[in-house]
Structure 1
Amino acid sequence: MQTAHVQALEAKHATLDQRIHAESSRPMPDAALLADLKKQKLRLKEEISAAH
């Protein structure tokens, strides 16, 4: 069960990484959105580290 949870968190982390990259690549990236996505990604990373 724990492994499935960690895998789900890692999948969400990868999705956020893709969204951050896509937003950063836009001609006029939304700074507030980028900041929010990065905070979400950091929270997930901390949760993944805690689960290991």
Structure 2
Amino acid sequence: MPENRELEIKLAVLQTEHRDLDDVISRLIENPPYDQLQLQRLKKKKLTLKDQIAKIEALLVPDIIA
């Protein structure tokens, strides 16, 4: 179970970082002109975080065979 606890902690950290990036992206878009390259990099990082979150959630939720 300690392994699950570590995954839950990592998941919480990644979710917080994902939310923070979402806020940064929103603020950047609200204040034109903005750096398109910076926006693309932030969105790519946010997508990477989303993928990592999905992987950890899949590890935490057991597969149920119907």
TM-score > 0.5 by shorter chain:
yes
Residue 46 (structure 2) pairs with residue 30 (structure 1):
no
Letter paired with 1:34:
L
Q: Does 2:21 correspond to 1:9?
A: no
Instruction: From the two aligned structures, give the one with the greater helix fraction.
Output: 1
- 2:47 is paired with a residue whose SS is helix
Q: Which runs of 5+ in 1 are unaligned?
A: none
Amino acid at match of 2:46: K
Which structure would you say has the larger Rg? Answer: 2
Aligned residues between the structures: 52
18, 23, 40: which one aligns with 2:23:
18
Give, as a single letter, the amino acid of the residue that structure 2 aligns with 1:16: L
Residue equivalent to 2:47: 42
- Which portions of structure 1, spanning 4 or more consecutive aligned residues, are displaced by more than 2 angstroms? none
CA distance in 2, matches of 1:27, 1:41: 21
RMSD: 0.6
